Chains A and B, each alone.
Chain A
Amino acid sequence: MENFAVFVPRLLPQQEYLAPGHRACIGCGEALAMRLVAKALGRNVIVSNATGCMEIISTPYPTTSWRVPWIHTLFENASAVAAGIEAAVRIQNEKGTRKNTPKVVAMGGDGATFDIGLQSLSGAWERGHDFLYVCYDNEAYMNTGIQRSSATPFGAATTTSPAGKVSIGQTTAKKNMPAIAVAHDIPYVATACPSYPFDLMEKVSKAVATRGPSYLHVLSPCPTGWRHGGDISVKMGRLAVETGAFPLFEVVNGKYRLTMDFPKLRPVKDYLTPQGRFRHLPKDEVERIQQGVIREYEKLKKKAEA
């Protein structure tokens, strides 16, 4: 592992395709994830970006952080736009009107993926377009000011699921988006986190090398919305993984595999405590969350062992 940490970074390309100078918050885990995704994708790509934090921080007219062709149109349609690009490239190659064959990548936040854009994403998966969809999941509508989405975990306080005298915040469990992707029988599904950059980049490379639709679900710590210090975003991602709250795995042709496994999970309170969005939770609710994490992790392990 020590050697890995020394040598692998040297093998990574120096070239950045998401230029610095964008307007993300200090410590933004999502911008970090997007930079790594762009690096792993390389230059031969076309990106379709849903409305959201990453669109807003990277392209205030007349500036852009993107060094690859990039299009933003609306909130809920990044997959449909990507489908149109993929179909265009395919026929242009066939008719000889385009020389290159770029990879097509759609990206959006959890609101664009879990909620408003789920229909167009499901449609694009079902039709089998050759594209990668990357979800940068920061577990709420952060761009509009921290409103709950169906990706918000149980117990988290947001501005539309506030903790109050008679409420503990979000009352529903996080939607299982990777399972929805797997249910579409697409060839490659994976979870990743920018706190594990090599794992993330490896998964991006695998995903775009796969023919057909692929899905990468990236947990992206958000200091602004999660209410933690901007200096511990990478640590927060590691805690999410080490506690089992956000396991790292991949599903290749329906076969689950844990890409990061731990003999013993850390207590989930290590992950919850540094975050202001959970600070109102009484001990019994933390315990309830702990039991839920263990239950889900065991279910996942069983799938991986099957």
Chain B
Amino acid sequence: MAMVGMEGSLAMAEAARLANVDVVAAYPITPQTHIVERLAEMVANGELNASYIPVESEHSAMSACLGSSAAGARTFTATAGQGLELMHEVLYVASGLRLPIVMGVANRALSCPLSVWGDHSDVMAVRDTGWIQVFAENGQQAFDLTLCAFRIAEDPKVLFPVMVHIDGFHLSHVVEPLYLMEQEQVNSFLPPFSYPFPLDPDTPVTMGAFTVPILYSEARKSMETALRSTRVIINHIFADFARVSGRQYSAVEQYRSDDADTLLLTMGSYSQIAMDAVDQLRDRGEKVGLIRLRLWRPFPFDELRQAVENCQTLVVLDRCVSPAGPPGPVCSEVKAALYSQKKRPNVAGFIGGLGGRDLTPAEFVQMVERGRVIAAEGGEEIEMIGVRG
């Protein structure tokens, strides 16, 4: 397949088209809008045979997705920032009812002050909604991971909704060279959707019954166990995607990390900037590498522990503030994951890239240098990078 130049948003829409989605229910919000605009255009032009529901809010977007998915239709939506927050309570229902909805999220900062630009505040607020969550770091991955998301969500042993995160503007609006796939290739990877218990008068089911205290805990436990157990299946599906596309993904991806004494850890598009910084430091003879967390939920404990066990310092970037709390949600989760390990690196957390603020390779170099000092001292102060005042 020839290389094309395409926005991350449009690449995601292209993946949804190749997945032959049945229903798209969506509401416009920057920086996600290009995804659903493109899908509306495809439906209008007959390039995609789908029901397109232009709902009146994100709450209704996700609610319509619940109905559509429960009726057994392959369902896609996309949102960002405030829209993801407006969906908040509905997200829990999607995972609780085990509905394999796929959603693109063009990560955006949260008001107040209003900012349409990218960071991970929206993601972190929906961390515990029970969705599988993957992070793309470039346009190619926006396309690839969306296709993988359908296959993962709909696997009979998974049946969980999946969020594919692409950083607002940095990925949603940047035109990049990438490879699409032929319909036959996609068909050989993604079988037709068959939901085991659809809403159907011939086989009536009751979905969404309520539970009393003697049952609620068991319901949550079974859901949590099921979500945790999807890690193995996700790895298999990434491997199968590599068979079809030649592009291999994994829960934790590494860059020049083999002999590193210091590792950076990032999620999303800034991984690409961090790789530049790693190259610069390597050129100076420093043993520095990068860990990119591809899979945010289910959290890849084993892979992460293994990836960082031989380094002395781990420097974690968060694009979200946990006000008056620990250094950042990703950093505190990483620290928690390593606490039980006999051999573990010192961890330093930085916050940066808020509300669309760029981070330069020089700032990643600065994080490495400063991080080594903080980590050695065991500091708990929140350090923001590239901020005035």
Instruction: Report A's interface with B, CB cutoff 8 A.
Output: 43-46, 48, 55-56, 59-64, 66-74, 76-77, 79-92, 94-95, 97-100, 102, 119-120, 122-124, 126-127
Contact = CB atoms under 8 A, between A and B. Distances in A.
Minimum-distance CB pairs A-B, first 8: A84-B67, A123-B56, A84-B64, A80-B63, A88-B73, A77-B63, A87-B51, A88-B71
Interface stretch (B114-122, B207-215, B250-258): B207-215
A48 B67 contact: yes
A46 B71 contact: yes
Given A61-B209, A91-B50, A84 B204 contact: no
Contacts of B192: 97
Nearest to A56: B210
Contact of A74 (B93, B200, B206): B93
B201 interface: yes
Contacts of B73: 87-88, 91-92
A64 to B, nearest CB: 4
Interface residues of B, number: 47
Question: Among B22, B69, B199, B203, which residue has the most Cβ atoms of chain A within 10 A?
Answer: B199
B57 A82 contact: no
Interface string B61-83: 10111111111110100000000
A64 B209 contact: yes
A86 B55 CA distance: 13
Given A64-B206, A81-B66, 4 more contacts: A59-B210, A62-B209, A74-B90, A84-B68
B72 A98 contact: yes
A123 B64 CA distance: 11
Interface in B190-225: 192, 199-212, 215, 219
B211 A85 contact: no
Contacts of B67: 48, 71, 80-88
B19 to A, nearest CB: 14
Contacts of B53: 83-84, 87, 127
A62 B208 CA distance: 11
Contact of B63 (A69, A81, A95): A81
A61 B25 CA distance: 30
Given A46-B71, A73-B93, A91 B63 contact: no
Contacts of A123: 55-57, 60
Interface of B: 22-23, 25, 49-51, 53-57, 59-61, 63-73, 75, 89-90, 93, 97, 192, 199-212, 215, 219
Question: Among B75, B200, B212, which residue has the most Cβ atoms of chain A within 10 A?
Answer: B200
Contacts of B202: 99-100
Nearest to A17: B204
Contact of B68 (A59, A87, A102): A87
Contacts of B201: 43-46, 68-69, 100, 102
Contacts of A62: 209, 215
B89 A74 contact: yes
A122 B208 CA distance: 24
A77 B204 contact: no
Question: Among B50, B201, B210, which residue has the most Cβ atoms of chain A within 10 A?
Answer: B201
A80 B60 contact: yes
Contacts of B209: 59-64, 72
Given A61-B215, A91-B73, A71 B208 contact: yes
A87 B65 CA distance: 10
A26 B75 CA distance: 42
Contacts of A122: 56
A73 B59 CA distance: 12
A237 B65 CA distance: 38
A124 B203 CA distance: 27
7 contacts: A44-B201, A56-B210, A76-B59, A80-B55, A83-B53, A83-B67, A87-B51
Nearest to B51: A87
Question: Among A81, A92, A127, which residue has the most Cβ atoms of chain B within 10 A?
Answer: A81
Question: Among B68, B75, B206, B207, which residue has the most Cβ atoms of chain A within 10 A?
Answer: B206
Nearest to A120: B60
A63 B212 CA distance: 12
Contacts of A120: 56-57, 59-60, 63
A3 B201 CA distance: 35
B48 to A, nearest CB: 11
Given A44-B201, A61-B215, A88-B23, A73 B72 contact: no
